[in-house]
Chain A
Amino acid sequence: MSRTYVLRRGLQAIGTLLVIVTILFFLFRLGLPDPTVALVTEGLSPEDRAVIRERFGLDRPLFEQYVIYLGNIVRGEFGTSFYYKAPVAGVVWEKFANTMVLMLVAIVIAYLLGIPLGAYLAWKRGTRTDTVGIVLGLMFRSAPMFWTGMLAVLLFGVALGWLPTSGMRTLPYEAATFFHKVFTLDFLRHLIMPATIIALFYLGSPLLIMRNTMLEVYGEDFIEMARAKGLRERDVLYRHAARNALLPVITQLAVTIGLAAGGQVVVEVVFSWPGLGREILQAVRTSDFPLAQATFMLMAVLVITMNFLADLLYGALDPRVKLQ
Chain B
Amino acid sequence: MRPRQRSRSRYLAQAFAPLRLIFHDRLATTGVVILGTVIVMALAAPWVATHDPRAIVERAEGSWMTWDEDAWRVQPAIGLEPLYDLAVRGGEAIAVGADGLAKRFDGRAWTALPRITEATLRAVAAGDTGAIAVGDGGVVAWYVDDEPRALRLGDADLHGVTLVDDGRSALIVGAGEAVWHLPLAALEAGETDLEPRTTRLASPVGRGLLLRAVATDADGSAIAVGERGLALTWSPDAAPGGAGSLALLTLPSFRDFNGLHVDPDGGRALIVGERGTLLRREGPDARWVEDPPPDTRALRGAWIGNDGRAWAVGRNGVALSFDGEAWQRDVTGTERHFWAVAEVAGRPLAIGSDPFVDKLAPPSAVHWFGTDHLGRDLFSQNVYGSRIALLVGFLGAALVVLIGANVGLFAGYFRGRTDTILMRIVDVMYGIPFEPFAMILVLLFDPSLLIVILAISLLSWRTVARLIRSQVLSLSERPFVKAARVAGASDLRILYLHIAPNVLPLVFLELAIILGASIIAEATLSFLGLGPPQSISWGGILHNARLSGAWRTAWWWNIPPGAFIMITVLAVFFISRALEVIANPRLRGR
A–B: direct contact at CB < 8 Å: yes
Chain A residues engaging chain B, CB cutoff 8 angstroms: 12-13, 15-17, 19-20, 27, 31-32, 125-126, 131, 134-135, 138-139, 141-144, 146-148, 150-151, 154, 158, 212, 215-216, 219, 259, 261-266, 269-270, 277, 280-281, 284-285, 292, 296, 299-300, 303-304, 307
Contact B431 A144 (CB under 8 A): no
Q: Which of B534-569 contact A (CB under 8 A)?
A: 539, 542, 545-546, 551-552, 555, 558-559, 561-562, 565-569
Contact A265 B528 (CB under 8 A): yes
Give the distance in Å from the alpha carbon of A142 to the alpha carbon of B27 in the complex. 15
Q: Shortest CB–CB separation between residue B488 and chain A, in angstroms?
A: 33
Q: Shortest CB–CB separation between residue A145 and chain B, in angstroms?
A: 8
Q: Shortest CB–CB separation between residue B295 and chain A, in angstroms?
A: 26
Contact B436 A139 (CB under 8 A): no
Contact B566 A147 (CB under 8 A): yes
Chain B residues engaging chain A, CB cutoff 8 angstroms: 27, 424, 427-428, 430-437, 439-440, 443-445, 516, 520, 523-524, 527-528, 539, 542, 545-546, 551-552, 555, 558-559, 561-562, 565-570, 573-574, 577, 580, 584, 586-587, 590
Give the distance in Å from the alpha carbon of A151 to the alpha carbon of B552 in the complex. 9
Chain B at the A interface: SS class: helix
Known: A31-B445, A216-B587, A281-B528. Is A150-B546 also a contact (CB below 8 A)? yes
B546 contact set on A, CB distance < 8 A: 150, 270
A139 contact set on B, CB distance < 8 A: 566, 570
Partner of B434, one of A20, A126, A212, A259: A259
User: Can you spell out 8 A-B residue pairs with CB atoms less than 8 angstroms apart?
Assistant: A27-B444, A32-B444, A125-B590, A141-B569, A150-B562, A215-B587, A262-B435, A265-B435
Give the distance in Å from the alpha carbon of A134 to the alpha carbon of B516 in the complex. 16
Give the distance in Å from the alpha carbon of A141 to the alpha carbon of B427 in the complex. 26
Give the distance in Å from the alpha carbon of A32 to the alpha carbon of B586 in the complex. 50
Contact A212 B562 (CB under 8 A): no
CB nearest neighbor in B for A299: B433
Give the distance in Å from the alpha carbon of A142 to the alpha carbon of B586 in the complex. 26
Contact A142 B436 (CB under 8 A): no
A292 contact set on B, CB distance < 8 A: 440
A134 contact set on B, CB distance < 8 A: 27, 577
Contact B427 A12 (CB under 8 A): yes
Give the distance in Å from the alpha carbon of A253 to the alpha carbon of B519 in the complex. 24
CB nearest neighbor in B for A154: B552
B428 contact set on A, CB distance < 8 A: 16, 19-20
Across the A-B interface, the 8 shortest Cβ-Cβ residue pairs: A262-B433, A147-B562, A142-B569, A31-B444, A142-B570, A143-B566, A304-B431, A299-B433
A269 contact set on B, CB distance < 8 A: 527-528
Give the distance in Å from the alpha carbon of A160 to the alpha carbon of B3 in the complex. 70
Contact A277 B565 (CB under 8 A): no
A158 contact set on B, CB distance < 8 A: 552
Q: Shortest CB–CB separation between residue B49 and chain A, in angstroms?
A: 22
Contact B562 A148 (CB under 8 A): yes
Q: Shortest CB–CB separation between residue A202 and chain B, in angstroms?
A: 13
Chain A at the B interface: SS class: helix
B552 contact set on A, CB distance < 8 A: 154, 158
Considering residues B436, B528, B587, which has the most beta carbons from chain A within 10 angstroms of its beta carbon?
B436
CB nearest neighbor in A for B572: A142
B431 contact set on A, CB distance < 8 A: 13, 16-17, 20, 300, 303-304, 307
CB nearest neighbor in A for B516: A142
Contact A303 B516 (CB under 8 A): no
CB nearest neighbor in A for B546: A150
Give the distance in Å from the alpha carbon of A296 to the alpha carbon of B431 in the complex. 11
Considering residues B435, B524, B559, which has the most beta carbons from chain A within 10 angstroms of its beta carbon?
B435
Contact B542 A303 (CB under 8 A): no
Give the distance in Å from the alpha carbon of A158 to the alpha carbon of B440 in the complex. 33
B436 contact set on A, CB distance < 8 A: 262-263, 265, 277, 280, 296, 299
Give the distance in Å from the alpha carbon of A34 to the alpha carbon of B433 in the complex. 25
B577 contact set on A, CB distance < 8 A: 134, 138
Give the distance in Å from the alpha carbon of A277 to the alpha carbon of B437 in the complex. 11
Q: Shortest CB–CB separation between residue A166 and chain B, in angstroms?
A: 12
Contact B542 A146 (CB under 8 A): yes
B570 contact set on A, CB distance < 8 A: 135, 138-139, 142
Contact B587 A135 (CB under 8 A): no
Give the distance in Å from the alpha carbon of A233 to the alpha carbon of B542 in the complex. 48
A262 contact set on B, CB distance < 8 A: 433-436
Additional 20 contacts, C-beta under 8 A, given A146-B524, A296-B436: A16-B427, A16-B431, A19-B428, A32-B444, A131-B27, A134-B27, A138-B577, A139-B566, A143-B566, A144-B524, A147-B566, A150-B545, A151-B562, A212-B584, A219-B586, A262-B436, A263-B435, A265-B439, A265-B528, A281-B528
B580 contact set on A, CB distance < 8 A: 212
Known: A126-B590, A143-B566. Is A259-B433 also a contact (CB below 8 A)? yes
Contact A281 B439 (CB under 8 A): yes
Q: Shortest CB–CB separation between residue B35 and chain A, in angstroms?
A: 12
Known: A147-B562, A216-B586, A285-B443. Is A307-B433 also a contact (CB below 8 A)? no
